[in-house]
Structure 1
């Protein structure tokens, strides 16, 4: 972790400065900045989780939460949440950010798990086997990981990422942002539709219209088992392979 004293500071404010070119299209806390934080952290999160699972379990798992591309929405939205809540605390003590990140991250992870179960009748993770868990949705250990991530993010990674985003030329950055926004919206919506239809198939529901027939044809169980290898439908006690 970069020591706070080694980072440039705003004069008289006691807080690390984020170096951004004056002409940057993503200068300050605007949509462009937050989208690139979401996009890049979604990608990096999926890659990091894949590497972590390989190193700890010797398994190569697809840790993406969407169908097209390696993107973990939980990581991406988590990075945006931490940025909005903690970016003004960069000059404060690490302990304060750690505690805030632990509480906020644990709450966020719980709500994500609950939302997945409500929308799709499934869970992408289950911490029931880990001590100090709450309904298997979150546990103290991983909540503390969120706290560490908040400190590292605000004190080191976020300023570096801002500098990287600031190097994207405005002429390319603005249209590229909106093209990627449309892509991510499509990816999220088609993934949600495929998961919803997958849940319906588990209950034996036949396709009710041409859209559901197309979802069954393009996203059969075999493909979704491969794309969402960690997903478990609630109430099944585990699911069979393809």
Structure 2
């Protein structure tokens, strides 16, 4: 019985639909982490993300990069650590550069961290990315993957697919309005 449920679930979603689902799950979890961080450190709620909605896409993109390109190193912790550290430091640098170039604002600044590169990345966070990659690939993603598989059986396929295609549309609208707001057009 359990095996037949798994087959039904696998037929419900395509690979791209799983990617969309994981993107939004990890973007929301990233937003929650940032929110709790600001509550603990600053003592009040601050939307530390770029968008109005409760997601931080950088976490979703990071998770998808890990799932697609780094999970192949799961059996080799050293390669997994190094790949995570390198890929995510490069990703963080490019995103930081793009945000600064487009919006003339910094969403993070490591200028005062030891061994930083233009305040966009630092050795401390590069090492952290390595450990986060190990934790994500070996524990976090397998945990949420199992939870999602179990949850999907309770949602009718057509509702699930509508939600999966509606979420990117909402993200695009939020991105447009947030961009216009940061550019001073709205």
- Structure 1 segments of 4+ aligned residues over 3 angstroms from their partners: 56-60
Correspondence 1:10-159 to 2 at 5 A: 21-24=6-9, 25-26=12-13, 30-67=15-52, 69-90=53-74, 92-159=75-142
Q: Is the 8 A contact 2:71 2:80 kept in 1?
A: no
Specify every segment of 5 or more residues in structure 1 that has no aligned partner in the other structure, as ranges: 1-19, 199-211, 216-242
Give the number of aligned pairs.
176
Q: CA deviation at 1:148?
A: 1.2
CA distance in 2, matches of 1:144, 1:53: 22
SS at match of 2:6: coil
**Between Structure 1 and Structure 2, whose CA radius of gyration is higher?**
1
Alignment match, 1:182: 169
Specify every segment of 5 or more residues in structure 2 that has no aligned partner in the other structure, as ranges: none
Q: CA deviation at 1:21?
A: 1.9
Superposition RMSD on alpha carbons, in Å? 1.8
Q: Is the 8 A contact 1:41 1:75 kept in 2?
A: yes
Q: CA deviation at 1:43?
A: 0.9
SS at match of 1:172: helix
Which one has the bigger helix percentage? 2
Q: CA deviation at 1:179?
A: 1.2
Q: What TM-score results when the alignment is normalised by the length of structure 1?
A: 0.68
Q: Is the 8 A contact 1:26 1:165 kept in 2?
A: no
Q: What TM-score results when the alignment is normalised by the length of structure 2?
A: 0.86
